[in-house]
Structure 1
């Protein structure tokens, strides 16, 4: 691998997240989270709420990040990554702080149900319920109803894309942006990057294989995969919100993210795609100069689509 120098320096210290055993992966992730320096929240307020879940399902916990600057603001539903099997409101807390404070938008982060205890469609439906709540509570939250977006990283990117499809198919809420970073989009794993990258930093194809087994549940091989699970299986991507997509050269998910962007373009959807050379999966989570450049671009994208 020809990694950028600041990213190459990280590789030896990145632990392996063994999603074959979700309990082990969750414990490893918590150890990582404990090492991360919290972001500065002085420009925002942070609260948690319990909101109604999908019909017949438990309520959902969300964390709301609100700028102290006068509003109203755009609203961004943030969906954390973690291979559908791990992660919490803490996992991408810093990212939510950055978007709320720098992009000046209200961010709602959702604690969706995790596989394998809760396979598809539980997590996706939780996220859609959170989007509906955000839209319904826009006035109380200081959000402009016409400036709503969804965002997610990795598996969170799959869920953000799924929520965009749900909002289209279920007649709302209307979205102005889908921000998909290193997104999971296809359970078939038949791209050149998926076939090639079996030992790459942070994420590899064997991890993807285990992830899909957990998320789709027992007997999934005998069922047709829903596009709300694997968005690249959608028959059409027309009438979806503008997309900003980030992929990385040394990531097995690279090509399916690029293909999703191509299909959106073919369907007439505005797309910005940044394919980062010399980078690996979620490289912008590690506090490097390259990562900071990527985050600055994401903040700009949110301000462009959801700002005044």
Structure 2
């Protein structure tokens, strides 16, 4: 299927990126400038900002409560942005949609980003918030059952890495891992996966841009050979939580996500891999207002409800 016409029109209208080195501050400001004002956002019962005091330090979190209830299952959400972009604000609408559709309380993590924070600061923040959320119990009104980790793009990297860290630590409270268009192999050799060549140009995120966009993270000490950086390289995936892996037909990173799903199944882990036709990378963040892509949140609800 060709790229969805609405997505194609959006990409056609984008300005040509400026030449020269990437400027994190300018790019973050540009991202934030497109965030909808609070009164135009999906209403929920409560949205609260707070500081989680964790073993990794004080981490900003935003907690989304979909409706009034005595207790809730939890989703801990990690935003995307190539490890240096994205924020609680730029992905606020994703977290709201997750809470609204699933009925679970969502804890969105404002983790430290490259290049200001070297690896593994952001990953440590994400894992620490998961442990913090599980320890809160009554303070978050957690029902003690569902504790899912979810993330898009580089947030999906953190999802897989956090699931592995928890397994290795004997922390068995994570019940589900949900990865939207994940980046799971930071070795960007274009011959590693067919999708890197098939979707190299013209679909928003281009293969040639992957290395420079992730350079802030890699230059901070993240080694692509490390399974916590490239989770698809973890030798043994057995014992990890059930997974929902959502990929996009026209995403250069499509095949590494689908490989992760296959390897999970081969290791005896329940894994659902769902490829969205006509979509490019980042469709969950940017194009979920289109009905055919907004159903990703209903699919997430159904996946969480199977256990």
2:255 matches 1:258: no
- Per-residue CA deviations over 1:266-305 (Å, capped at 9, x if unaligned) read 1111011111122111223222122222332223323444
Greater CA deviation, 171-180 or 240-249? Answer: 171-180
Contact 1:157 1:181 in 2 (8 A): yes
Contact 2:247 2:258 in 1 (8 A): yes
1:237 aligned partner: 237
- Per-residue CA deviations over 1:129-155 (Å, capped at 9, x if unaligned) read 100110000222111223100000000
Distance 2:117 2:51 in 1: 19
Contact 2:75 2:147 in 1 (8 A): yes
Alignment of 1:189-200 (within 5 A): 189=188, 190-200=192-202
SS in 2 for 1:87: coil
Q: TM-score, normalised by structure 2?
A: 0.89
Change (3 A) 1:205 1:126: same
Contact 2:147 2:175 in 1 (8 A): yes
Structure 2 stretches of 5 or more lacking a match? none
- Give 1:194 shift: 1.7
Contact 2:60 2:109 in 1 (8 A): yes
Change (3 A) 1:49 1:83: same
Contact 2:54 2:132 in 1 (8 A): no
1:216 aligned partner: 218
SS in 2 for 1:147: strand
2:140 aligned partner: 141
- Per-residue CA deviations over 1:101-145 (Å, capped at 9, x if unaligned) read 221111000000101111321110000010011000022211122
Alignment of 1:116-155 (within 5 A): 116-155=115-154
Change (3 A) 1:146 1:249: same
Contact 2:119 2:220 in 1 (8 A): no
Contact 1:249 1:275 in 2 (8 A): yes
Q: TM-score, normalised by structure 1?
A: 0.89
2:112 aligned partner: 113
Distance 2:16 2:227 in 1: 29
SS in 1 for 2:277: strand
- Decide which of 294, 297, 301 is 1:295's aligned counterpart: 297
Change (3 A) 1:219 1:143: closer
- Give 1:67 shift: 2.9
Change (3 A) 1:149 1:15: farther
Structure 1 stretches of 5 or more lacking a match? none
Distance 2:140 2:196 in 1: 41
